[in-house]
Amino acid sequence: MREAVREREFREYAEARQAHLRRNAYLLCGDWHLAQDLTQTTLMKLYAAWGRVRRDGNVDAYARTILTRTFIDQHRKGRWREEAVEEVPEAPEADADAPELRLVMRSALMELPPRYRAVLVLRFWEDWSVEQTAEALRVTPGTVKSQSARGLKRLRGLVEGLVGEGSGR
């Protein structure tokens, strides 16, 4: 009986949060198929620890931590080899719509090293604190702060470059 309740609770959680996890995975890796793989791996690891995680309380934070660490671990192992298969899409004009700006931001985000990308996604997309991000990435808060600053600086430069190319500056 307990196992059936455990499975039902996990299934309900997974169905409710899978799309959100997949969007975050996409922000990290930039590929919907790889994002789906990352999401499935995250859910498998979460299921294995479900009893403990459910008792501890913050399931979403635990799932995001698993997702981020899995991305970094797999990237470190070389699973996420990047290949240029097409040219970067044309940058939008200066008066671009929000969807075009999102494409520019995503393109720029994919240019960043995985560590910077992970820090920026957790800090500014997920709105995590410096301490939460540091704990999830197993680094010091000072490292999170410096990687945030460096990552934002590089991201701004990349976005300006992409927007500048599109406007002919």
Would you put residue 127 in left (φ > 0), alpha (ψ -120 to 50) or beta?
A: left
Domains of the chain: 1-83 (1.10.1740), 92-169 (1.10.10.10)
**Residue 58: its pLDDT value, please?**
86
Q: What is the pTM of this model?
A: 0.56
Mean pLDDT of 104-108: 85
107-109-110 Cα angle (round to 5)? 65
Tell which wins on pLDDT, 73 or 93.
73
Tell which wins on pLDDT, 2 or 26.
26
Q: In terms of Cα–Cα distance, which of 86, 95, 97, 94 is closest to 31?
A: 86
